Amino acid sequence: MIERQGSGPRLATPDDFPDILDLVDRCFNHSSGGMASEWCHVYDREQPDRHAVITENGTVVSHVSIVEDELVIGDGHLQSWGISGVATEPRTRGQGYMSDLMDFWMERMDSAGVPFGKLGGDRKRYGHWGWERAGRERRYRVTERFFERDQVPDDARIERYDGSAEHITQLRDRYQRRNLRVRRDEEAWRNRLDRAQFTTLLRTDANEKGYLTFSRTRHNHRETTVSDLGGSPSTIRALLAHVFDTFGKQTIHVDMHPTDQQNRLFSGPDVSGYWEDRPHRMVYVGDLSQILAAYRNSIARRAAGANVPPGSISLEITEDGDPVALEWDGRSITVRAADHATVSVNRMAMARLLFWDPNTVPAYDNQPLLAATLPLGFYVPLVDRV
């Protein structure tokens, strides 16, 4: 057994930032300063309390950070934390530093009452804390060879995002029409779109406005990924053509939630030659009551659309032991504490039940209300990921 040499987990200070940036740049294969410019919404020197570290001899050797945000689900809102920058100096691995730092943040997440978490990672590494792969993401592949240009307007006015208030307003007006999104104030817009890895284009014609944000694909400059977009089909076609013509791309990947209205455009063979669905992110289901309350109106709309008869069902995460009832009266959903659970499963199974595929959870047993309303939708655009 390796004897631990490091300090216990603690919140970072501004003096730790040079070490933090050096560590994450090396662990994530970025040159010096790379993560600071490409992930500036994560590595903010003014918010050291979002970073936890372990040090050896005064030098940071392990790091995990969190980013707080709010998910918007139609008219519902859900507080969320994103886990980011999980990095440990190679020579110090095997001493449990990452586990200590994850414990550090999970305890604070619980004590702060944060109901939902998300990260990019795998089940084996993060399943110990109850994280599970869930949600759905659709990826389209648009190639220059097969992209039909006969419907692309010749006179579209396209500008590159310049950080102006006018551009921010146009972006925000379009983005806020999306049913699933992350809440962004003006500062959030700026620190996301100013990141070195993203380019944002806007169509600014009087009657045709929209935008497209794309990023480079690592190791292949001829490919790119669209990170966010909004506008009419005509506007999106014009922006895609501009990326092909001006930036020398041959393949454009476009990611979105399967319920996004833009699927109507990309599902056509004259735009995309290939598509696939895949799990979206790792999620952590913390406070079940808060999560269900945020989705209450969304669940009610689905139940009404499926003509589900009035009834109730109660759910419980076995690790927590706090049953939560969903009551459907034919018009609305009420969320309240319950005395017992109809469906009681562990935290990872609850993530699959709510956000991936109810049929993977044996206790689900085809409950009518759940069958009509699950899985719940959530989506985090690439520009908001941490």
Grade residue 362 by pLDDT with cuts at 50, 70 and 90. confident
Q: Which domains does the chain have, with CATH numbers?
A: 10-119 (3.40.630.30), 138-280 (3.40.630.30), 287-373 (3.30.1050)
DSSP string over 30-63: --TTHHHHHTTTT--TT-GGGEEEEEETTEEEEE
> pLDDT (tens digit, 9 = 90+) per residue, 326-336?
999 999 999 99
Question: Do 280 and 379 contact (CB within 8 A), yes or no?
Answer: yes
CA distance 259 to 262: 8
CA distance 288 to 116: 9
Question: Do 212 and 243 contact (CB within 8 A), yes or no?
Answer: yes
Question: Do 262 and 256 contact (CB within 8 A), yes or no?
Answer: yes
CA distance 233 to 256: 15
CA distance 287 to 203: 41
Terminal Cα distance for the chain, rounded: 33
Q: Which of 346, 350, 345 is nearest to 292 (CA)?
A: 350
CB atoms within 10 A of CB 253: 18
Q: Is 139 helix (H, G, I), strand (E, B) or coil?
A: strand
- Tell me the torsion sign for CA atoms 232, 234, 237, 238: negative
> pLDDT (tens digit, 9 = 90+) per residue, 100-119?
999 999 999 999 999 999 99
CA distance 250 to 229: 19
Structure tokens at 352: 């699959």
- Tell me the torsion sign for CA atoms 85, 15, 184, 174: negative
Q: What average pLDDT does range 264-289 have in this prediction?
A: 94
Strand duo 116-119 + 76-88: pairing:
parallel
Q: Tell me the percentage of the chain whose pLDDT exceeds 90.
A: 81
Give residue 1's pLDDT: 41
Burial of 8 (0-12, 13-18, 19+ CB in 10 A): exposed
> pLDDT (tens digit, 9 = 90+) per residue, 194-227?
888 899 999 999 889 999 999 976 667 899 999 9
User: pLDDT averaged over the chain?
Assistant: 93
Beta bridge partners of 216: 224
Structure tokens at 56: 């050896």
Give residue 32's pLDDT: 52
Give residue 194's pLDDT: 87
Query: What phi and psi, each to the nearest 5 degrees, are found at residue 175?
Result: -65, -40
| Range list of β-strands (E), the chain | 10-11, 51-56, 59-73, 76-88, 116-119, 132-143, 158-160, 180-182, 198-204, 209-217, 220-230, 251-256, 274-285, 311-317, 324-328, 333-337, 343-345
Question: Do 378 and 180 contact (CB within 8 A), yes or no?
Answer: yes
Q: What average pLDDT does range 274-292 have in this prediction?
A: 96
* Distance of alpha carbon 82 from the chain centroid: 8
Structure tokens at 308: 């589900």
Give residue 3's pLDDT: 58
Grade residue 28 by pLDDT with cuts at 50, 70 and 90. confident
Task: Quote the pTM value.
Answer: 0.93
CA angle 229, 133, 175 (to 5 degrees): 20
CA distance 64 to 178: 31
If you search the block for the tokens 């939902």, which residue do you land on? Answer: 116
* Distance of alpha carbon 378 from the chain centroid: 8
Question: Do 315 and 341 contact (CB within 8 A), yes or no?
Answer: yes
